[in-house]
Amino acid sequence: MHCGRIDRRTFLADVGLGFTGLALGTLLHADEGAARWTPPDSKPHFPPKAKSVIWIFLSGGVSQMETWDPKPALTKYGGKTFSETPYPDPLKSPLFRLRSRDVVGGERPYPKIFPLQVGFKKHGKSGIELSDWWPHLATCVDELAFVRSMYTTDNDHGAEFQMHTGRHVLEENQPVIGSWIHYGLGTLNENLPKFVFLGQYKDTRVRKNFDADYLGPEHSGIELSLDPSSPLPFAKPAKGITNEEQKKLFEFTAELNQLSAVRYPDDPHVRARIRSYELAFRMQMEAPKVLDLSKETQETQKLYGIDNPKTAIYGRRLLASRRLVQHGVRFVLCYLSDYGEWDSHTELKTNHARSCERVDKPLAGLIQDLKRTGLDKDVLVVCATEFGRTPGLETREAYKMPTGRDHHPHGFTVWLAGAGIKKGIVHGATDELGFHAVESPHYVTDLHATVLNRLGLDSRKLTVPGRKRLDLDYGKPIHEILA
């Protein structure tokens, strides 16, 4: 049955939503907070210092002691227990339980100290110490800001997702930092997504790190392939299909989706599907040009280590990240590891040395490239991991030759560089044994708030009615590292 050009189902839906709207208006009037709420207008809350972010992630848990936070006391007292050193026993500190929430059956403290597995040297005018596994990045220390006092609360690999959402795995899911940025800011290029994921992973759980959750799928990250001939495999036209024919196919699909949107106006998946098809066609034209690394000079490709098989894969990801933000992508989540690669429960010296070698030159190349092109004035770089490694030697029976460190949420290091960040500084500290973050400790959402602040966003203004956020979710910007 039709009423003019409107079918019965649409008519009833419109009438029903009309009455629903009346009831909703009454409820919103009663809820003053919701009534005052307005969705983001895609404008920053205050003048930004950065336009885009490259968030680099090292999955598995990097040992802070063998990379960014030297602790010579570990070598001096190697083989002894914490209680046998002249320092306070970190296992007896109230921070030990305060900053660790059990997930998998009890955290193992491992009180027998494991010596440092690599040497350290001071570098640059700032004299910041880095381990000998970073010969290329060491030349860039005067561009970096190290935060040596990060902590999280998940003692298992749910900490990876906590680093992106700010919530423990046992609590309510939250949108990731990239999705909040997508939600809060407008695009700089209509032909590219605002939030991109670069990485190839064997464990599909990594998808949680670019999931928008209750913000809706339209704010999720979009995974891109570095194959410029097929950056969006799901949108690649079939053999023999011209661009014009594909455009008409997308237009027809959009019409069908619009019909579904009328019948199901509150379905976020329908809205996201409509927008994804609209973006997909535009990206088919733009993304191949952006992801064509052959357009870069041989000098630039060499700078990122693309000429070396050991560093090529991560050099390509970081160079692609630079090209994406250069062309207007707001947030790039770039994995410089396989899922869990840095999880060195055993053979830490071998595993960390290999992993550092794979990413050292690409990371240095990115910092140098941003500086020489002037993009460091617009682009903020964050290099993070999910937690650190314990100062104690791991002695579980599963590892016959104990030569590694267990997970450690109590204190670890991240570093930042680029737009709106001070250069060549160290902020915060762990104790003498590298156990607890004791000087200017920062929970992971402080890092989120810092990034949002540089983009001109106030984390407390990024809310959704009906979704209760904890005070901890908002974090506080780390003002000591802000330029």
Residue 149 has pLDDT above 70, yes or no: yes
367-382 pLDDT, tens digit per residue, is 999 999 999 999 999 9
**Is 168's pLDDT higher than 70?**
yes
pTM score:
0.86
Which residues, including other chains, have CB under 8 Å from residue 212's CB and lie 6 or more apart? Answer: 175, 176, 179, 182, 183, 218, 219, 220
Residue 181 tokens read as 């940025």
Confidence (pLDDT) at 18: 45
* Segment 172-213, tens digit of pLDDT: 999 999 999 999 998 999 999 999 999 976 667 788 889 999
Supply the DSSP string of 37-84, one letter for each residue: -----SS-SS--S-SEEEEEEETT---STTTTS--HHHHHTTTSBGGG
pLDDT band at 114 (very low <50, low <70, confident <90, very high): very high
> Cα–Cα–Cα angle for 196, 46, 149, nearest 5°?
65
- Report the range of poorest mean pLDDT among 169-178, 231-240, 323-332: 231-240
Average pLDDT over residues 270-290: 69
Residue 280 vs residues 163, 226, 235, 236, 470: alpha-carbon distances, Å: 29, 16, 6, 9, 36
The mean pLDDT value of the chain amounts to: 86
Q: How confident is the model at residue 103 (pLDDT cuts 50, 70, 90)?
A: confident
Read off the DSSP letter of residue 392: B
Q: What letter represents residue 146's amino acid?
A: F
* Angle ∠(183,483,44) on CA atoms, nearest 5: 25
Mean pLDDT of 277-289: 74
Q: Which of 90-94, 205-209, 306-310, 352-356 has the lowest mean pLDDT?
A: 205-209
Give me the residue label for tokens 């002894």: 80
Q: Which two tokens stand for residue 151?
A: 């902590």
Structure confidence at residue 26 (pLDDT): 41
pLDDT digits (tens, 9 = 90+) for 1-50: 444 555 555 444 444 444 444 444 344 444 444 445 677 888 999 999 99
